[in-house]
Structure 1
Amino acid sequence: MPSARPSLLAPPLSFCKPIRARKFGSLANQSLQAPVPPPPPLPPPPASAAAPPHVFGLEKSQLLREALEKAGPAPGSREDAKRLLKLHKDRFRSDLQWILFCADLPSLIQEGPQCGLVALWMAGTLLVPPSGIPLERLVHMAVEKGYTAQGEMFSVANMGRLAEEALGCQVELLRGGLGGPNKGRVLQHLVSGHPLLIPISYDEDFNHEPCRRKGHKAHWAVSTGVLLGVRGVPSPGYAEDPELPGLFHPVPSMPHQLPSLPEEGSLGAVYLLSKQGKSWHYQLWDYDQVQDSNLQLTDFSPSRAADGQEYVVPAGGVRAGLCGQALLLRPQDSSP
């Protein structure tokens, strides 16, 4: 007979030798009677620091800055002002001589409703040279202090507090508009090379100039220069521009007498050299036009009220927070 094939199954239990538990003292007896409790769970990992609040546009700002840097350096204030004078020469009175006082600012295009913080960042490059305070830090501080929800700034007073806290500069809050006695203070401030932060209504679709929209187009700008129309240029200390006869610049290496400021009501004799977060270039704005625009900031934009976004608006609304107000900023060690 053929031999039986070996089975792949284990032999029946009856053919196996019994296995006896070996005892290792009392511990073995205890282990057979009650299971050893499992080890305690590992402690949870330490909580990580809370992430900073997300603000619309911050993740794009660096990319945008890099793109602008690749496009070439920002035009200087003098060159850009001369470009505007040539482009709109019919707007400037031919019966006056013109003196341009200006300080250079870098440009930064805003993302989202960050116009005020972008304007403060630009001003900061003059107050905390050479590069000011990072925009991300300004936004984080403003959110942390409760001044803003997503970069908007509807309070000139809060903007002044933020400037003091972040830049360590002197801040003077002007109320009652840019006319009357405030006009002389503003012009002296700009002639001295210090920045002015001012809220206006801004029409980016029509002519990129201040307009009257009751605050529906509320926007911030920074002015760091002024173009003054005068009957006569004081001497010495000023040099006529070689390309534009009738335009004069203060000579940095020479002491110069300040010109007589245009009188109140002297139309078309004062222009603010300004920058804001929706343009790469400087703009020359008629002083009276800026003054009128600043005085009619009264209402919150209906489109913003209906967009479902959160905004920080002070008690009393846009009228209480922005209307007729501006900020004069100076380095901490300067005199008014």
Structure 2
Amino acid sequence: MSHTSPVAPPPPPPPMLMSPGTSVHAKDVPVVVNITTGECSWAWEFPEVQKGCFFSRVCEYAPPKHCQYYNVKSILQVGPTCGLVALSMLLGGQPTADYLLKDAIANEFTLNGELFSAQYLYKLTRKHMPGPGACQLHEGLLNCKKVKDLLKAGGCLLVPYDADVNHAPCLKSGHRAHWALIVGYLVDIQDRFYVLARHGKTQNLAVWSLETLSESNANLLEFAQPKGYPDNDFLQPPGGIGGSLGLNERSILVNGLPQQVLHVR
């Protein structure tokens, strides 16, 4: 195990050193899984990674060729604020999601916290991560060399996608649009590329196929009234979520964050 040193610009605090049993304070308690059958034992020193791979059935019996991630503290969302919470997690909780919500409302990016425009979230990200090259708006498929190289270099992603009932990427034409923060990656022995993700619906670290996430990101075409908010008005950008200012095949690439790296060889 080795640690890369922070490089400019470093908005969030340095990552915490993880050890067996490390706890993370949040508003809920993560699911406790007692893995006793040897699955994902290569990650026993990193319980969140082990649990995420166990749930996703990734690298159960063989270690990955490489796995690295940034130890970002989870924040749970209140209301339809998934994009703002993802940005606050990226920034180490400062500014808070509540502050970002006020900022987004003042800039007429949102009504309730929803962000159906990657361009709007990009503007907020750039505002709170000043500096040349701190972030950029990516247009196109996620499953590409540019995104993989960014993650390998210690970068992060803010990604909209359709969230299934278990919050994993799915294809619902944008009807379940949600934002996640990609904090690392994993490559298995068959060279399949996975991402490690945080989002505002759970404290647990998620492990998703980059290909599946890319397909979900590319199917964000239509707005659907969220079931939990039948009477709320939601702000869509000109052209809707599938337009040039929307979410379809859009993501935010973040460069130069400090990163804790786990080597398994």
TM-score (norm 2): 0.73
The equivalent of 2:163 in structure 1 is: 202
State the alpha-carbon separation in 1 of the partners of residues 197 and 208 from structure 2.
7
Determine whether 1:85 maps to 2:10: no
1:31-61, CA deviations, whole angstroms, 9 ceiling, x for partnerless residues?
xxxxxxxxxxxxxxxxxxxxxxxxxxxxxxx
1:106-128, CA deviations, whole angstroms, 9 ceiling, x for partnerless residues?
11111110000000111112xxx
State the alpha-carbon separation in 2 of the partners of residues 122 and 306 from structure 1.
24
State the alpha-carbon separation in 1 of the partners of residues 28 and 222 from structure 2.
39
State the alpha-carbon separation in 1 of the partners of residues 106 and 127 from structure 2.
12
The equivalent of 1:280 in structure 2 is: 203
The equivalent of 1:325 in structure 2 is: 250
Question: Among the aligned pairs, what percent are the same residue?
Answer: 26
The equivalent of 2:77 in structure 1 is: 110
The equivalent of 2:103 in structure 1 is: 141
Larger Rg: 1
Return the match for 1:313 from 217, 232, 236. Answer: 236
Determine whether 1:296 maps to 2:219: yes
For 1:103, give the aligned amino acid: Y
Determine whether 1:173 maps to 2:137: yes
Shift of 1:306: 8.5
Instruction: Say which SS state the counterpart of residue 280 (structure 1) adopts.
Output: strand
Instruction: Say which SS state the counterpart of residue 194 (structure 2) adopts.
Output: strand
The equivalent of 1:211 in structure 2 is: 170
Aligned length: 218
- 8 Å CA contact 1:294–1:325 kept in 2: the answer is yes
Q: Can you give the 5+ residue segments of structure 1 that lack an aligned partner in the other structure?
A: 1-66, 126-130, 232-261, 263-268
- 8 Å CA contact 1:133–1:167 kept in 2: the answer is no
- 8 Å CA contact 2:29–2:203 kept in 1: the answer is no
- 8 Å CA contact 1:198–1:327 kept in 2: the answer is yes
Rate the CA distance shift 1:323–1:159 in 2: closer, same or farther, 3 A: same
Shift of 1:98: 2.8
TM-score (norm 1): 0.59
Rate the CA distance shift 1:88–1:316 in 2: closer, same or farther, 3 A: closer
Greater RCO (CA < 8 Å, at least 6 residues apart):
2
State the alpha-carbon separation in 2 of the partners of residues 306 and 79 from structure 1.
35
State the alpha-carbon separation in 2 of the partners of residues 274 and 70 from structure 1.
17
For 2:254, give the aligned amino acid: L
- Give the structure with the larger helix fraction: 1
Return the match for 1:158 from 97, 120, 128. Answer: 120
State the alpha-carbon separation in 2 of the partners of residues 330 and 151 from structure 1.
25
